[in-house]
């Protein structure tokens, strides 16, 4: 049965969104709009769509002409999956914006081109609620939710995908016909497996998402203000810094060990620190400092939680640190969180390589030694090199690994080895450094975070083509196990039903069984 919203989305907007080719002045901005300047695609044309109906039309024409297609929302793909020279048609959904309450489904409808910041603003001002989505307000919802989506509030409220009620997707059947379908989490929905695949199965696998609906799984009734988590009354942020000059190898190891042990004690949903989130930025020594950024939404308890967190990290380190605390409203923070991280001048022209992992336990002492070695190396100049350690777990770990497609449900930390550079001539040096750091951290399991006692695979929203490269993955464990674990065969069955022609594919996409 076609609902009112489905009918409107199929037919809204101009009949033909048009083809924006290289001769169009808009082409350069659209074809090359992306977060990571390391990759540059050259599609034959771009389709700038405004409705589900236009997406159906754009996909249908690409299929009929046998042209490789990719979709982009916010443009924050970290790997060359969208900006791929093999892509001939790029469907840009950035104009498909909007957040509204859908009384028919008793859920909030979010169009795929809406950014995370726009979602925060609309949900808060309209109904006083929020969604535990990403950290950067500029990320597009279109691809973000598909990988599970975690951010500042995940320890308190879980993943954004945990609150996904329904999804509208443009798919292509075996006959090559494009159409849109809606899949919900209702047990009676015959399309339920398609909904499940979009709760962590990653983007570019099954079709093009045009709309999401969100409602918390434990929500009851039809009052919009009670269907998603209430927004925090206030946010206490903290910025802490240690000078590398004050940290010898022993002090460095103690700081990193303390942080990991705090995460081990506070990884559960009922832990005292579940309403606190922080990231430890282990910058290379040449940057001068190690930094901690974090927040708490615990109201009157926030300052105490912050004090206890910092005391635990500093225990027996023996080095002074700077400390800055600030209280703000939720919306002011959400729309401009830690601008020194997300509003760095010139970052829009930078190239990156990010290699991440989920951790079930803190880094071992051997891994801490590896980190110290690479962060203090003097034989290589990598100013943008860094190892990040973000708190995780909490409410995330209350969901069964197969209840959603997001399989990592008992981790306490996420870690990321990062390198960023401006000059293309610096690429080889930066890639060499970050790959060596990552490989040696996980040398005991073939250079990758194989699921085991310490690690638990990687996060598909931070795709890393190296995991599928036998030069960098000598574990014998395939890349898809690192991302999806035991959920991969089920994702393959969804792929076979909803994308039997493998229209939606990229180097790390779900393979047909």
CATH number reported for the structural domain that contains residue 396 in this entry: 3.40.462.20
CATH of the domain at 47: 3.30.465.10
> What per-residue confidence (pLDDT) applies to 342?
73
In terms of domains, do 191 and 242 share one? Answer: no
In terms of domains, do 202 and 305 share one? Answer: no
> What per-residue confidence (pLDDT) applies to 36?
83
> What per-residue confidence (pLDDT) applies to 39?
86
93 in any annotated domain: yes
CA distance 201 to 145: 10
CA distance 300 to 298: 6
Q: Which of residues 187, 206, 230 is at a domain's end?
A: 230
506 in any annotated domain: no
pLDDT at 17 over 70: no
430 in any annotated domain: yes
132 in any annotated domain: yes
Q: What is the pLDDT of residues 39-73, one digit of tens each?
A: 889 999 999 999 999 999 999 999 999 999 999 99
CA distance 446 to 413: 20
Burial category of 294 from C-beta neighbours within 10 Å (exposed 0-12, middle 13-18, buried 19 and up)? buried
pLDDT at 457 over 60: yes
Q: Which of residues 212, 230, 248 is at a domain's end?
A: 230
pLDDT at 11 over 90: no
In terms of domains, do 390 and 343 share one? Answer: yes
Write out the two tokens for 46: 């771009």
pLDDT at 15 over 60: no
> What per-residue confidence (pLDDT) applies to 213?
98
In terms of domains, do 183 and 312 share one? Answer: no
According to DSSP, residue 2 is labeled -
470 in any annotated domain: yes
- Give 4's pLDDT tier (boundaries 50, 70, 90): very low
- Give 16's pLDDT tier (boundaries 50, 70, 90): low
For the chain, the domain total comes to 2
In terms of domains, do 69 and 132 share one? Answer: yes
CA distance 330 to 464: 32
In terms of domains, do 119 and 212 share one? Answer: yes
310 in any annotated domain: yes
> What per-residue confidence (pLDDT) applies to 38?
87
Q: Is 23 helix (H, G, I), strand (E, B) or coil?
A: coil
Which range among 40-49, 86-95, 275-284, 345-354 shows the weakest confidence by mean pLDDT? 345-354
Q: Buried b vs exposed e over 380-411: b needs ≥16 C-beta within 10 Å?
A: eebebbbbbbbbbbbbbbebebeebbbbbbeb
Mean pLDDT of 330-334: 97
492 in any annotated domain: no
CA distance 323 to 292: 9
In terms of domains, do 381 and 437 share one? Answer: yes
In terms of domains, do 214 and 284 share one? Answer: no
Going by C-alpha positions, the residue among 296, 291, 221 that lies closest to residue 266 is 296
CA distance 73 to 16: 19
Are the CB atoms for 104 and 5 separated by under 8 Å? yes
Going by C-alpha positions, the residue among 265, 441, 437 that lies closest to residue 358 is 441
In terms of domains, do 363 and 273 share one? Answer: yes
CA distance 493 to 296: 41
Q: Buried b vs exposed e over 485-504: b needs ≥16 C-beta within 10 Å?
A: bebbebbbebbebbbeeebb
Residue span of the structural domain in which 66 resides = 4-230
CA distance 368 to 256: 7
The larger pLDDT score, comparing residue 195 to residue 2, is at 195
> What per-residue confidence (pLDDT) applies to 318?
96
Write out the two tokens for 147: 């990988």
In terms of domains, do 222 and 239 share one? Answer: no
Q: Which of residues 230, 256, 281 is at a domain's end?
A: 230
508 in any annotated domain: no
Q: What percent of the chain has pLDDT over 70?
A: 96
> What per-residue confidence (pLDDT) applies to 272?
85
Q: What is the pLDDT of residues 123-181, one digit of tens each?
A: 999 999 999 999 999 999 999 999 999 999 999 999 999 999 999 999 999 999 999 99
In terms of domains, do 377 and 336 share one? Answer: yes
In terms of domains, do 126 and 17 share one? Answer: yes
Q: What is the pLDDT of residues 279-316, one digit of tens each?
A: 999 999 999 999 999 999 999 999 999 999 999 999 99
């Amino acid at each position: 049965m076609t609902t009112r919203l489905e009918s409107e989305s199929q037919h809204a907007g101009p009949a033909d969104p048009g083809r924006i080719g290289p001769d169009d002045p808009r082409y350069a901005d659209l074809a090359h709009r992306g977060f990571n300047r390391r990759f540059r695609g050259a599609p034959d044309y771009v389709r700038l769509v405004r409705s589900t109906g236009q997406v159906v039309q754009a996909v249908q024409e690409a299929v009929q002409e046998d042209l490789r297609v990719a979709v982009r929302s916010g443009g924050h793909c970290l790997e060359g999956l969208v900006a791929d020279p093999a892509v001939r048609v790029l469907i840009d959904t950035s104009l498909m914006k909007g957040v509204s309450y859908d009384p028919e489904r008793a859920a909030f409808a979010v169009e795929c081109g809406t950014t995370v910041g726009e979602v925060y603003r609309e949900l808060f001002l309209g109904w006083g609620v929020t969604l535990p989505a990403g950290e950067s307000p500029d990320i597009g919802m279109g691809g973000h939710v598909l990988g599970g989506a975690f951010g500042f509030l995940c320890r308190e409220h879980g993943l954004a995908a945990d609150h996904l009620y329904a999804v509208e997707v443009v798919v292509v059947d075996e006959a090559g016909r494009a159409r849109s379908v809606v899949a919900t989490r209702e047990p009676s929905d015959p399309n339920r497996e398609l909904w499940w695949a979009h709760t962590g199965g990653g983007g570019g696998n099954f079709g093009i998402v045009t709309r999401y609906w969100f409602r918390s799984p434990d929500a009851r009734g039809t009052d919009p203000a009670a269907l998603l988590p209430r927004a925090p009354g206030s946010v206490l942020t903290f910025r802490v810094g240690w000078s590398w000059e004050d940290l010898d190898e022993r002090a460095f190891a103690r700081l990193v060990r303390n942080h990991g042990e705090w995460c081990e004690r506070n990884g559960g949903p009922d832990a005292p620190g579940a309403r606190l989130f922080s990231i430890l930025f282990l910058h290379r020594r040449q940057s001068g400092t190690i930094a901690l950024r974090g927040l708490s939404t615990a109201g009157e308890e926030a300052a105490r939680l912050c004090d206890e967190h910092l005391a635990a990290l500093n225990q027996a380190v023996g080095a002074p640190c700077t400390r800055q605390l600030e209280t703000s409203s939720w919306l002011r923070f959400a729309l401009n969180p830690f601008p020194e991280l997300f509003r760095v001048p010139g970052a829009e022209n930078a190239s990156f390589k990010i290699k991440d992992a989920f951790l079930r336990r803190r880094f071992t002492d051997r891994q801490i030694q590896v980190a110290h070695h690479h962060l203090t190396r003097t034989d290589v100049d990598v100013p943008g090199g860094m190892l990040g350690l973000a708190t995780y777990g909490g409410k995330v770990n209350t969901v069964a690994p197969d209840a959603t497609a997001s399989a990592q449900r008992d981790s306490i930390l996420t870690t990321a080895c990062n390198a960023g550079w401006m000059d293309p001539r610096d690429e080889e040096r930066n890639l060499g450094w970050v790959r060596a750091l990552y490989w040696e951290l996980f040398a005991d399991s073939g250079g990758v975070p194989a699921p085991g006692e310490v690690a638990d695979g990687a996060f598909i929203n931070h795709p890393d083509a190296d995991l599928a490269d036998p030069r960098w993955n000598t574990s014998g464990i395939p890349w898809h196990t690192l991302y999806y674990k035991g959920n991969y065969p089920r994702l393959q069955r969804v792929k076979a039903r909803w994308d039997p022609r493998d229209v939606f594919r990229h180097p790390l996409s779900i393979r047909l069984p």
